[in-house]
Amino acid sequence: MGKNPNNKKINTKLLHEVRAPKNKKELQNIIRAQRIAEKVLADVLKFLKTGKTELEVQNFIKKSFIKYKAPVLSFSPIVAFGKGSADIHHEPGNVKLKKGDIIMLDFGTTYNHYCSDMTRTFFFGEPSAKQKKVYIDVLRATELAMAKIAKGEKRAWIIDKTARDFLAKKYKNNFKHGLGHGVGTVIHEWPNFKPKSTDILPVGTVMTIEPGIYLKGFGGVRIEDMILITATGYKNLTQVPKDLKSAILNL
Ligand SMILES: [Mn+2]
């Protein structure tokens, strides 16, 4: 609330608050961008093989988006193999994919200027017990946050805390970034899931849910979906499965 010169109370909304709820057309664009990213992911999984480098895979992703006529990406695709997946924002390099590696892929594109965002973590062959455990825990953090939203929770910090407290019990304060962010014409927009966030999620906002655990010298797991905040809960806009079985790439 603010005051006008006549001293009457008026509703004032900041621009980021006005922009957060997406209309039908805006939502369609975000979903379209996501569906294209899902096609690209399916192609990438067929492209992966022993000896491919992170850069080769990143280039394949970029070329695939051109092929699907969505060449303006939300951000430079993250491709991380093995220990590199322990970097939150890994810069792809000449590391070659090998059996037993974690593969982290984080990318999105734009459609009519609206962004998509998705992260999936895979195991190149049967995962170790520790790899499985980290994956299941991150997945559980996602599920707990989503269950909270499904109950109608709109306070960003509570949703963040739900996932963070679960991970903290097992990994102390390893989960260092926010649980997620708004998505629109820019890839990171208001509101934000963070411990100190005072944001209340407006209905119609598109948010990411992306908990992660990053173990130096071992690797990391991040799982990221995009969801639409609804009056009663949420709708998941990401259609790629994220159960452990789907994360195991059989060689
Ligand atoms: Mn994201």
Res 237: pLDDT: 98
Percent of the chain with pLDDT over 70: 96
Distance 107 CA to ligand 1 centre (A): 8
Please state, in angstroms and rounded to a whole number, the distance separating the CA atoms of residues 35 and 112.
14
Where are the domains positioned within the chain?
10-249
Distance 10 CA to ligand 1 centre (A): 35
Distance 67 CA to ligand 1 centre (A): 23
Residue of higher predicted confidence among 251 and 45: 45
198 has a pLDDT exceeding 80: yes
Distance 5 CA to ligand 1 centre (A): 41
Distance 187 CA to ligand 1 centre (A): 7
196 has a pLDDT exceeding 70: yes
Distance 170 CA to ligand 1 centre (A): 23
Distance 106 CA to ligand 1 centre (A): 8
Q: How far is CA 73 from CA 63, 68, 117, 243, in A?
A: 11, 12, 10, 26
8 has a pLDDT exceeding 70: no
Res 251: pLDDT: 78
Distance 8 CA to ligand 1 centre (A): 41
Distance 152 CA to ligand 1 centre (A): 22
Q: What is the rounded average pLDDT for all residues in the chain? A: 96
Distance 6 CA to ligand 1 centre (A): 43
3 has a pLDDT exceeding 50: no
What's the fold here for domain 10-249? Answer: Creatine Amidinohydrolase (3.90.230)
Residues 72-120 pLDDT 10s: 999 999 999 999 999 999 999 999 999 999 999 999 999 999 999 999 9
Helix/strand/coil (H/E/C) assignment for every residue in the chain: CEECCCCCEECCCCHHHHHCCCCHHHHHHHHHHHHHHHHHHHHHHHHCCCCCEHHHHHHHHHHHHHHCCCCCECCCCEEEEHHHHHCCCCCCCCCECCCCCEEEEEECEEECCEECCEEEEEEECCCCHHHHHHHHHHHHHHHHHHHHHHCCCCEHHHHHHHHHHHHHHHHCCCCCCCCEEECCCCCCEEEEECCCCCCECCCCCEEEECCEEEECCCEEEECEEEEEECCCCEEECCCCCCCHHHHEECC
Distance 118 CA to ligand 1 centre (A): 7
What tokens does 194 get? 């963070």
Distance 96 CA to ligand 1 centre (A): 25
Lowest mean pLDDT among 11-25, 51-65, 105-119, 145-159: 11-25
Q: State CA 142 to chain mean position distance.
A: 10
What tokens does 70 get? 């969505």
Distance 74 CA to ligand 1 centre (A): 10
> pTM (2 decimals)?
0.94
Give the mean model confidence (pLDDT) for residues 231-239: 98
